[in-house]
Amino acid sequence: MADSTQTVAGPPQAAKKPHSVTHHGLSVSDDYAWLRDPGYPQVTDKEVLAHLEAENRWFEARMADRKDAIDTLFKEMRARIKEADKSVPQKDGDWLYWIEFEEGAEYKKWWRRPVAGGEDQLILDEVALAEGKEYFSLGAISVSKGGTLLAYSFDDNGSERFTARIKNLETGELLPDEIPGTLSSLVWVGDDRGLVYSLANEQWRTDNARLHWLGDPLDKDVELYHESDDGFRVGSSLSSNESWLIIGTSDHETSEARLVRADDPLGEQILVKARSKGVEYDVDEREGVLYIHANDTHENFRLATAPLDNPGEWTTLIEGSDDFYLTGVDLFRDFYVIEGRRAGLDQIEVRHYDDPARVEPIHFPEASYSAGLSNNPEWHMDTLRLSYESMVSPATVYDYDVAARTLETLKVQEIPSGYDASLYTTERLEITARDGTAVPVSVVYRRDRTGAGPLHLYGYGAYGLAIEPGFSISRLSLVDRGFAFAIAHIRGGDDLGRAWYKAGKLEQRTNTFNDFVDVARGLVERGYTAPGKISISGGSAGGELMGAVVNSDPELFGAVVAHVPFVDVLNTMLDESLPLTPGEWPEWGNPIEDRAAFELILSYSPYDQVKRQAYPPIMVTAGLNDPRVTYWEPAKWVARLREFKTDGNELILKTNMGAGHGGKSGRFESLKETAEEFAFILWQLGVEV
């Protein structure tokens, strides 16, 4: 193939336009601040668009010679997907519901049929809704209690502002009701006459819960609750018995909930307990008793109860524990289920209202896995739908018979091109970080792999989000080429409980970056790989992780992929007009008011800490319509890297001009982006496709 870079003279060089910000007497230069379009969220500035398009041309030029590799990877990944596939039907009321993909379809169709027997009914066709659109994402979907109406919302540009519509399932017609700009669930109330939703305000914050009566104009909608704190977000749901509308508001460390009768949504609201900084709780109800999952007495949460008529008086039902991290509680008519993690591994336990000492754990066959409750929509259930997978076991759907305490396998993910689990092995390691903390690492590789070969290391480490050791069909394209694939369960996630999360946020944020680097070094020391043979990836806050570790330890890594990376941390946290910023201060700190927070964020913010040194090959992605990590963060970071780096390694930026935080939509289009990522990694590590 001819050298495709001949048509593009060289990588784009962004203009430097002196600019600085000063806080607490400290000034920080930002010569690429101009890449933020002043009209954002509309991006129309010709100079900005020209620069992004130039970066895209450079990306295409540098990746052009990888086209055959990308096609090969994409075809083998696609061959692992059962194209004509459907979920296991689940009963909800008088109907069985399931979703289905047709051969070659990017999007799914939603079906149901009567439990008593009858015709299959197509209730929502995403394929038709997405036709002719560059991007499509279904948001909320909710069938009314009576089963005759369907509310759904969609986003067709990646901005995550969803338009809600309502469909009459008996006639197939769309009701005239249309609610643009939602960012929420859609909750049926008032005997299916009303719909509760939340609008995204101008700053993309859901500060409200609103009630829409079917047939009324939108200006008649009633605001049930308004949140005055810019850092809090509002969301609504139904209690498990569907008797109560629950309106919750929270930031990253504090929450508050109100209940109102679902059949009388304009009635009196019951405040469960007023917010108290650092206390998170959620609530459900059964027979006049509230069940509250809260971290007020232990950071790993307890389960408490309270009478509905005295909701603030909490009595412990299950104590908080250092050993068991209680992540959630699900109520059913005759029993309840708690989910959590012990030593970082998922646990599911059935408990009984009439016998608190009776604990029935559900046991799974492997030592390392990901498991949880799946779709269990009914109040009265005798069997529980569960999901299960591991790094070597494809996704499995179980039914658990509560009385018999037995698991029945309903479906195992089928891989049409073939998959033999016996060819692979998975391990759970502990690698000691520089401060003596043992960091868990999940690894999968082929049993016939030998020596210190290439290794891909993935991490996230923020917001208390655990990275589960689950299955991936795309990952096999690296593993089958001799890679080990490792997940670093670093501090900042809640993999080992709430303390693990706290140890990677605010003033302890740098633990997250150090853990990742120390895991990489530990994997080298144990003979899994060698410096320079490690590829790494992360997205969003995981992209921040990528930026931090290439600044600190660039020699370790042979290829880096940063997806929609949160790399301009200081400038973003200084701008309270941005959608997420006020709500993010509990996670990162408030550099506007706190000089110590300003100095700490400055010390690790990847954009601000780019230095004159050699960097590994880096591939960066962005979304023009991304409201979470704004497009200019990766664009500015790449511009500064081009200015400072002293090497000749690849640095490419791809901005999706019609997508947002999640990249392209559709199951195959998104797979193409994974194929691009893997082709870049294999290219840079010198591994044949």
Q: How far apart are CA 378 and CA 393, in angstroms?
A: 29
Asked if 124 and 141 touch (Cβ cutoff 8 Å), the reply is yes
- Among 250, 368, 537, 540, which one carries the catalytic annotation? 540
Bridge-based pairing state of the strands 302-307 and 208-213 = unpaired
| Single-letter amino acid code for the residue at 239 | S
What is the number of alpha carbons within 13 Å of residue 367 lying toward its C-beta?
7
- Among 370, 568, 661, 665, which one carries the catalytic annotation? 661
Quote the tokens at residue 255.
């929450």
Strand partners, 479: none
What is the number of alpha carbons within 13 Å of residue 677 lying toward its C-beta?
23
Q: How far apart are CA 408 and CA 392, in angstroms?
A: 20
Q: What is the DSSP string of 287-329?
A: TTEEEEEE-SS-TT-EEEEEETTSTT--EEEE---SSEEEEEE
Closest alpha carbon to 184 in 129, 130, 245 = 245
Q: In terms of C-beta density within 10 A (0-12 exposed, 13-18 middle, 19 or more buried), how is residue 64 classed?
A: middle
Helix spans in 409-536 (H): 476-479, 498-502, 510-525
Strand partners, 424: 446
Quote the tokens at residue 570.
């200081």
Q: How far apart are CA 547 and CA 568, in angstroms?
A: 10
- Residue with structure tokens 């307890």? 302
| Single-letter amino acid code for the residue at 356 | P
| Single-letter amino acid code for the residue at 548 | A
- 410 by DSSP, 3-state: which? strand
Could you list the beta-strand ranges (E) of 526-639: 534-539, 557-563, 618-623
- Mark whether 540 is an active-site residue: yes
Q: How far apart are CA 126 and CA 135, in angstroms?
A: 12
Q: Write the CB contacts of 358 (distance below 8 Å, at least 6 apart in sequence).
A: 351, 352
- Measure the CA angle with vertex 476, ends 493 and 618; round to 5°: 65
- Among 155, 495, 626, 665, which one carries the catalytic annotation? 626
CA separation, residue 140 to residues 108, 345, 464 (Å): 14, 30, 24
Catalytic residues: 540, 626, 661
